[in-house]
Amino acid sequence: MKKIILASLLSALSHNAFAESITVYSARAEQLIKPLINAYQAETGVQINLVSDKEAPLMERIKSEGTNTSADMLITVDAGNLWQATNMGILAPVRSTILNKNIPAHLRDPNNHWFGLSVRARTIFYNTNKVKPSQLSTYENLANSKWAGKLCLRTSKKVYNQSLVAMMVSEVGAAQTERVVKGWVNNLAAPVFADDTKLLEAIASGQCEVGIANTYYYGRLMQKNKLPVGIFWANQKTKGVHVNISGAGITKNAKNAAGAIKFLEWLSSERAQNLFADANMEFPANSKVKPDNNVAAWGSFKQNLINVSTAGAYQVEAVKLMDRAGYK
Amino acid sequence: MGLTLIPLCVLILSLRSIDADIWQHLLSFSLSQLISNTIFLLIGVALLSLIIAAPLAWLVTLYQFPGRRFFNWALALPLAVPAYVMAFAQQGLFEFSGALQTWLRPDTRNTSLFESIPLLLAVSLTLSLAFYPYVYLLARQAFQSMGQRAIETGQSLGLSRTQSFIRIALPMARPWLAAGVMLVLMETLAEFGAVSIFNFDTLTSAIYKAWFSLFSIETAQQLALLLVLFVLIVYSIEQYSRHRYIYAPRSSNNVRRTTLVGTQARMASLTAALILLFSFILPFIQLLYWSINSFRDSFTDEFIRALINSMALAVQAALLITIMAFLLSYARRRDPSKSSSFMTHIATLGYAVPGTVLAIGIFVPIAMLDNLLINWLPSANDTAAIFKGSLFVMLLAFLIRFLSVAYNTIDSGMKRISKNQEDSARSLGTSNKQLLYRLYAPLLKKSTFTALLLVFIEVIKEIPITLMMRPFDKETLSVRIFNFTTEGQWEQAALPAISIVLCALIPLLILSNQADKE
C-alpha cells in the first residue's frame, strides 16, 4: 500500500502526457527549431517537448538516463558530435526509405544512426579592395607564405575548424595537414578570433585580407550592412568546399521511436527543409530543395562529397595536431 | 550539507579512468601555460577587485560627498551584468581604436608570458569590474560597523583618516575582504564565457576542451578537481596566515561621516563615477542600444513568460539558499572546531567548479536515483523521470552551486558578533533558541538580506544548471540569452540580458533603502 501511495505521489511529480508526444534534445538554438516544432504540431497534433543545451551535456544526459531517458531524438549542429553520440551507443539505426531518398549519402551516417538536415559550408572570405578572387584557390593555399601577415582564423577550439582539419587529415594525412596548419599559423595577421562574425569584420576593416568562416555568418552580416567582403568557394578544382551538417538521430531508448522517426522524415521533406535551412541562412540537405534567395545569390558550388562522419572519426587527432602546430 | 558533496564525489569518481594519452598531450602542449595563465589571472583579479572595492566602500561609508547616497547602492550594480555580457561590451570598447586593440591582442605566434601581459590585464580588468561588488558589499558591511572605531583608534594614535584606513581599518576588515575576494576568485575560476570572448585560455578552457573537443568527460572532471584543489590551497593559505588573530569587534552602527569639500569632494564623486561608468553604464548602454534595435523581434509572449519564470525561480531559490546558509553558519557558531570549519568550507566549494561540469555532476546521481526508483516502482513503467526536471531538484542544484555565496556573506556577519555579546546574553539566562531569535537574527539582518540579494541575482543569471535541470519548456531569461548567444546573435540576447539587470535593481534598491534608514 505504502509503495502504491508513494508511486502515485511520485508520478504526480513527473510529467504525464496524454496526447502523443516526442521529446527532442537539441543543441541547435531554440529559435531555429521552434518554428519547425510549431509547424509539425499544427499539422499533426503531436506534442513536442524541447530540451536545449550544448551537445556534450545533452549526450552525457542521455547516457546517464539510460533506459529511462526522456529523449526520443537528438539534434546537434555538427557531425562530429553525432559521430561521438553513435560511439557512446546512445543512437539507434533507422531504416527509412524516405530519409535515404531525401538526404544525400555523404550527409548521413553510413550505418543510418543519424541524418544531416542542413548543410553548413565553411569557405574562404576576402577583402574585395585588397584581394582578387583569382589569387585564391584552396584552404591549403592559405598556408603559402604569400599570405604572411594577411590571414585571419577563428580559434581552433571551435568545432567547425576541428572538422575542417579532421577532413584534411583523412584526405592527405597528418604530416601534410600539420604543415598546412603550421603555415596558417605563420600567416596570421592577428591572434585567432573568438567567433566568425568578428573575423569577417576584421577582413572588412582591413586588419587581414583573407579568412575562413561559415557562410551564414557572412549572410547575416551582409544583411545588416554591405561590407567590402567577398565569398570564394574553396577547392573547386580539387575535392570541393568543406561542409558540415546540423543533423539528428533517434535515441536507442526512445519511448516513442516511431513518432520520432516520422518527425525526422518530415524534417527532411521539402516543406520543412526550407524552414530548417532558411531560418539560419544555411543550405538545405535535401538536394531537391533550393536554398533561400539571399543564399542562392552566392552562386552554386561543389561540396566535398567525403562522408561528414569522417569529421568525428578524426576530430581528436585534429585537435591534437592543431595544438602541436601552435594553432590556439 | 552532505548534499553539496555529491558533485565533488562524482568528480573524484572520474579518477577511476585516466586517459593517459590526453593527459600526456595536455601536459606537453598546454597545461603549464594554462596553469600560469590561471594563477596570474587570479592574482590580477583579486588585486584589482580589492583596489577598486575597498577604497570605494570606505569612501561611501565614512565620508559625505555629492552623490554619496546614489553611489552607495549603484556601485553594486555591476553584479547584475553577467560577466560574458561585460566581456562582450568591454571588448567592443577596446576594439574602438585599432591601435589599442593590436596592443591588447599580442602576436599569438609567441605566447611567452611577457607578451600576453596586455591581454592578461584586459581580462583581469574586465573580470574585476564584473566581480568587485562582492568585495564592495562585504567591505561596506565591515566598515559600517567598525570604521568609526578604526578612525577613533587612529586619532588616538595620531593617524590621519587615510592612515587609519590603511593601517587599522583594512587589517581589521580582513575576514570580510577575504570572504569577498574568495567569492571573486571562485567566480573567476569557474568563468568560461568571458575568458573565451577574449580568447584567454585558463584551466576552465582546458576542461571544456577535454570534454567537448577531445570527448573525454573524465579528463574534464579530473581537471575540475585540480581547480577545486586550487581553491583549497588559496583558502588554506588565507586561513593559516591569520590563524593567530581573533576577529570579533564590537559593532557600533553610529558612523559619523566626514563631509568632503572642494577638490576632495569632486575627486571622490569623480572616482566613484568613473568606476560606475566602466563597470555598469557603458555595458548598460550597449545592452540598451541592442535591445532597442531588436525590440520588435525580442519582445514576445515567450519573453514575458520567461521573465515571470525567472523572477519566480530566483525568489524561491534565494529564500531556500539563504535559510540553509543561515542555519549552516549558526551550526558552525555552535561547533567552532577546526574540522567543522573545514567541512563547511568543503560544502561551499561547488561555486568554483565550472557550471556545466557541476551541472552534469549533479545530474548524473539524480538520473541514477530516478533509474532505481523507476525500476522499483510497479506503476512507473511509462515514466521517464521522477525527480529529473522537477522544480525541487532544480532548487537543490542551485543550493549546491550558490550556497557559498550566501554562506560567506552571512558568516562574515556572524563573525562580527562577539563572544562577549553572546556571553552576556547567556548570563541573563537566554536559552539557545532565544539566542537565535533575540541575538543572531536581528544582528544578522543586514548580511542575510545581502545574501538574499546576491543569490537572487546569481540564480537569475545562471545558465548551465538552468539548462540541465529545468522542467520541459520552462524558459527563463538566461536560457533565452544562451540560445541567442550560441548563434552569436548578441542583439537578440540583449533584451533578456537587460531585463536581468532591471530585475536585480529591485532588491538592490530595497537593500539601499534599508541601509539608509539605519
Chain A residues whose beta carbon lies within 8 Å of the beta carbon of residue B25: 320, 323
Length of chain B: 518
How many residues in chain A? 328
Chain B interface includes A14 (CB < 8 A): yes
Q: Within the 199-218 window of chain B, which residues sit less than 8 Å (CB to CB) from chain A?
A: 199, 201, 205, 208-209, 211-215, 217
Q: Which of A190-194, B46-50, B512-516 has the lowest mean pLDDT?
A: B512-516
Q: How far apart are CA B195 and CA B130, in angstroms?
A: 12
Q: What is the mean pLDDT of residues B291-298?
A: 86
Q: For residue B437, what are the contacts with CB-CB under 8 A and spacing of at least 6?
A: none
Burial class (CB in 10 A: 0-12, 13-18, 19+), A109: buried
pLDDT value at residue B99: 38
Q: Is the pLDDT of residue B341 over 80?
A: no
* A254-281 mean pLDDT: 95
Q: What is the mean pLDDT of chain A?
A: 92
Q: Higher confidence at residue B288 or residue B518?
A: B288
| Tens digits of residue pLDDT in B382-432 | 666 778 778 888 998 899 889 888 988 888 888 777 777 778 887 887 777
Q: Residue B89 in contact with residue B287, Cβ under 8 Å?
A: yes
- CB spacing of B109 vs A326 below 8 angstroms: yes
In the predicted structure, residue A132 carries a pLDDT above the cut 50: yes
User: What distances in angstroms separate CA A48 from CA A207, A259, A267, B366, B456, one per listed residue?
Assistant: 46, 10, 13, 24, 31
Which residues in chain B have their CB less than 8 angstroms from residue A11's CB?
379-380, 383, 386
Looking at residue B296, the DSSP 8-state letter turns out to be H
- Concatenating the DSSP letter of every residue in B337-356 gives -HHHHHHHHHHTGGGGS-HH
Q: Is B226 on the interface with A (CB under 8 A)?
A: no
How far is CA B228 from each of CA A132, B223, B241, B349, B517, rounded to the nearest angstrom? 53, 9, 20, 7, 41
Max Cα–Cα distance, chain A, nearest Å: 80
pLDDT at B313 (0 to 100): 94
Taking CA B244 as the corner, what is the angle to CA B138 and CA B346, rounded to the nearest 5 degrees?
A: 55
Mean pLDDT of A80-88: 95
Nearest C-alpha neighbor of A272 from the set A42, A19, A25, A26: A42
For B468, which residue in chain A has the nearest alpha carbon?
A: A53
Residue B115 pLDDT class (50, 70, 90 cuts): very low
Nearest to B214 among A8, A188, A316 (CB): A316
User: Is the predicted pLDDT of residue B96 greater than 50, yes or no?
Assistant: no
Assign residue B360 a region (left: φ > 0; alpha: ψ between -120 and 50; beta: otherwise): alpha
* Residue corresponding to grid cell 552566392: A298
User: For the stretch B326-345, what's the b/e string if a residue is b when 16 or more beta carbons lie within 10 angstroms of its beta carbon?
Assistant: bebbbebbeeeeeeeeeebb
**B93 CA to chain A: closest CA distance, Å?**
14
Structure confidence at residue A51 (pLDDT): 92
pLDDT at A249 over 90: yes
CB spacing of B373 vs A319 below 8 angstroms: no
Which of 124-183 (A) contact B at CB < 8 A?
A: 155, 157, 159, 162
Distance CA B483, CA B489 (A): 9
What is the phi/psi pair of residue B141, to 5°?
A: -55, -45
The alpha carbon of residue B350 is apart from the nearest alpha carbon of chain A, in Å, by: 18
Termini Cα distance of chain B: 34
CA dist list (Å): B188 to A328, B204, B223: 21, 10, 16
**Cα separation of A77 and A27, whole Å?**
6
- B/e letters for A194-214, b = 16+ CB within 10 Å, e = fewer, are bbbbbbbbbbbeebbbbbbbb
Give A211 or A6, the one with higher predicted confidence: A211
Angle between helices B217-241 and B355-376 (to 10 degrees): 120
B97 in reach of chain A (CB within 8 A) = no
Q: Is the pLDDT of residue A6 over 70?
A: no
Among the ranges given (A234-248, B4-18, B128-142, B365-379), the one the predictor scored with the smallest mean pLDDT: B365-379
Which of B199, B378, B392 has its CB closest to that of A7?
B378
Per-residue pLDDT for A114 more than 90?
yes
Q: What percent of chain B has pLDDT over 90?
A: 26
Burial B473-494 (b: 16+ CB within 10 A, else e): ebbbbbbbbbbbbbbbbbbbbb
d(CA A182, CA A176): 10
Confidence class of residue B97 from pLDDT cuts 50, 70 and 90? very low
Mutate to test the interface with B, among A5, A9, A15 (most CBs of B within 10 A): A15
The SS3 call for residue A210 is: strand
Q: Is the pLDDT of residue B108 over 50?
A: no
Q: How far apart are CA A301 and CA B401, in angstroms?
A: 49
Contact B261, B63 (CB under 8 A): no
Q: Residues of B with CB below 8 A from A162's CB?
A: 213
* Nearest Cα residue to B416 out of B445, B438, B437: B445
Mean pLDDT, rounded, for B43-69: 94
Chain B positions touching A204 (Cβ under 8 A) are: none
Give A42 or B510, the one with higher predicted confidence.
A42
Are the C-beta atoms of residues A259 and A194 closer than 8 Å to each other? no
Contacts of A13 in chain B (CB under 8 A): 386-387, 390, 392
pLDDT for the residue numbered B383: 64
Contacts for B229 with CB less than 8 Å, ≥ 6 apart: none
Which pLDDT score is estimated for A154? 96
pLDDT at position B456 is: 93
- CB neighbours (10 Å) of residue B233? 10
Whole-number pLDDT of residue B247: 59
* Residue B256: count of CB within 10 angstroms of its CB: 10
List the one residue out of A313, A311, A317, A323 whose CA is nearest residue A181. Answer: A323
Least confident of A148-152, B220-224, B472-476: B472-476
Q: Do B472 and A50 touch (CB under 8 A)?
A: yes
Q: Do B215 and A84 touch (CB under 8 A)?
A: yes
Residues facing A48 on adjacent strands = A22
pLDDT-derived band of residue A261, with 50, 70 and 90 as boundaries? very high
Summarize the confidence of residues B306-320 as an average pLDDT. 95
Give the closest of B208, B387, B467 to A52, CB-based.
Answer: B467
Asked whether residue B248 carries a pLDDT value surpassing 60, the answer given is no
The pLDDT of A218-246, averaged and rounded, is 94
CA nearest A328 in B: which residue? B108
Q: What residues of chain A lie within 8 A of the CB of B386, using their CB? A: 10-11, 13-14
ipTM value for the complex:
0.87
Q: Are B98 and A207 an interchain contact pair (Cβ–Cβ within 8 Å)? A: yes
DSSP line for B208-245? HIIIIIS--HHHHHHHHHHHHHHHHHHHHHHHHHTTT-
**A14 closest CB neighbour out of B109, B383, B480:** B383
d(CA A179, CA A141): 11
Interface A-B, measured as beta-carbon pairs within 8 A, has a size of 169
Give the pLDDT mean for B260-275. 92
Chain B hits for A52, CB-CB cut-off 8 Å, are: 467, 479, 482-483
Across the interface, whether the CB atoms of A53 and B368 are under 8 A apart is answered no
pLDDT at B68 over 80: yes
Decide if B380 and A10 are in contact by the 8 Å CB cutoff: yes
Q: Determine, for residues A191 and B199 on separate chains, whether the beta-carbon distance falls below 8 Å.
A: yes
Contact at CB, B107 and A191, closer than 8 angstroms: yes
Closest chain B residue by Cα to residue A16: B383
Q: Residue B445 — very low, low, confident or very high, per pLDDT cuts 50/70/90?
A: confident
| Average pLDDT for B13-28 | 90
Tell me which residue in B109, B209, B359 faces A157 most closely, judged by beta carbons.
B209
Given a cut of 60, is residue A276 above it in pLDDT? yes
Instruction: Write out residues 407-466 of B within 8 Å (CB-CB) of A.
Output: 464
Residue B296 cell numbers, joined:
520588435
Residue from B22, B26, B199, B357 whose CB has the most chain A CBs within 10 Å, to mutate = B199
Mean pLDDT is lowest, of A80-89, A274-283, B61-70, B229-238, for B229-238
Question: Mean pLDDT, chain B, as a whole number?
Answer: 83
Between B109, B214, B487, which is nearest A185 by CB?
B109
Residues of B in contact with A191 (CB under 8 A): 105-108, 199
**Residue among B488, B360, B212 nearest A78 (CA):** B212
> pLDDT at position B110, please?
37
Res. A1: pLDDT tops 50: no
Q: List A127's β-bridge partners, or say none.
A: A229
Average pLDDT of span A243-267: 97
Which of the residues B25, B382, B383, B475 would you substitute to probe the A interface, choosing the one with the greatest number of A C-beta atoms within 10 Å? B383
Q: Which residues of A touch B29 (CB under 8 A)?
A: 320, 323-324
| Closest listed residue to residue B507, CA positions, set B461, B468, B455 | B455
Check residues B307 and B179 and name the one with the higher pLDDT. Answer: B307
Beta bridge partners of A25: A51, A74
Cβ under 8 Å to B: A residues 189-248: 190-197, 205, 207, 217
Is B323 touching A (CB cutoff 8 A)?
Answer: no
B491 vs chain A: nearest CA distance in angstroms?
12
Secondary structure E strands in chain A = 21-26, 47-52, 73-76, 91-92, 114-127, 151-152, 210-214, 229-232, 242-251, 283-284
Cell readout for B94 is 577596446
Contacts of B388 in chain A (CB under 8 A): 65, 70
**Per-residue pLDDT tens for B53-64?**
999 999 999 999
Q: B410-446 burial, b for 16+ CB within 10 Å, e for fewer?
A: bbbbbbbbeeebbeebeeeebeeeebbeebbeebbeb
pLDDT bucket at B152, cuts 50 / 70 / 90: confident
A230: three-class secondary structure by DSSP: strand
Sign of the alpha-carbon torsion through B181, B183, B189, B195: negative
Exposed e or buried b per residue across B73-86, where buried means at least 16 C-beta atoms within 10 angstroms of its C-beta: bbbbbbbbbbbbbb
Cα B186 to chain centroid, rounded: 7
Separation between Cα atoms, residue B257 and residue B58, nearest integer Å: 11
**Residues of chain A with C-beta less than 8 angstroms from the C-beta of B475:** 30
| CB-CB neighbours of B353 under 10 Å | 27
Q: Which of A24, A32, A68, A157 to mutate to test the interface with B (most CBs of B within 10 A)?
A: A68
Question: For residue B109, what pLDDT is reported?
Answer: 38
CA A183/CA A323 separation, integer angstroms: 14
Question: Do the strands A210-214 and A114-127 form a parallel or antiparallel pair, or are they unpaired?
Answer: antiparallel
What is the pLDDT, as a whole number, of residue B93?
Answer: 62
Query: What was the pLDDT predicted at A18?
Result: 57
Residues of B in contact with A197 (CB under 8 A): 488
When scoring B31, B289, B388 by the number of chain A Cβ atoms within 10 A, the one with the most, hence best to mutate, is B388
